[in-house]
Amino acid sequence: MDVVSINELAAERLAKAVAAESGRSSVTVYSRPGARLRQTLTALAAGRVMGEHKSPGDASLLCLQGHVLVRAGDAQVELGPGDLVAVPPQRHDVEALEPSVLLLTVALH
């Protein structure tokens, strides 16, 4: 079994996000052929927004570090370290209120 240090990956990705022109850095931490689950670690520099998009399947978002604002239609929720939310099925966006790292888990159909 391979063990991945999420904390090390988070620090690495956050450094890359802050240095990147896009203000974003992501890496898939779990996926394999035929799997029905994908996990992606995403880091966002402060003030950056993952533009409005729709999830490819049932999903959850876990804030590992920082604070983000998740907006879907008229609803919005702020997440801090350790907060988990089901990703809304409608179009949504995510704004980093400060440098942040998120773990996105998506059920693939």
pLDDT digits (tens, 9 = 90+) for 10-31: 999 999 999 999 999 999 998 8
Q: What is the pLDDT of residue 56?
A: 66
> CA-to-CA distance for 75 and 79, rounded, in angstroms?
13
Q: What is the pLDDT of residue 10?
A: 95
Structure tokens at 90: 């409608």
pLDDT in tens, 40-94: 999 999 999 987 767 667 889 999 999 999 998 888 999 999 999 998 778 889 9
Q: What is the pLDDT of residue 50?
A: 87
Q: What is the pLDDT of residue 77?
A: 95
> CA-to-CA distance for 27 and 45, rounded, in angstroms?
15
Which three-class secondary structure state does DSSP give residue 8? helix
Class of domain 6-107: mainly beta
Q: What is the pLDDT of residue 34?
A: 79
Phi, psi dihedral angles at 82 (to 5 degrees): 90, -5
- Domain ranges for the chain: 6-107
Count helices and strands in the chain by DSSP H and E runs: 1, 9
CA distances from 8 to 13, 28, 39, 58, 74 (A): 9, 14, 16, 27, 36
pTM to 2 decimals?
Answer: 0.89
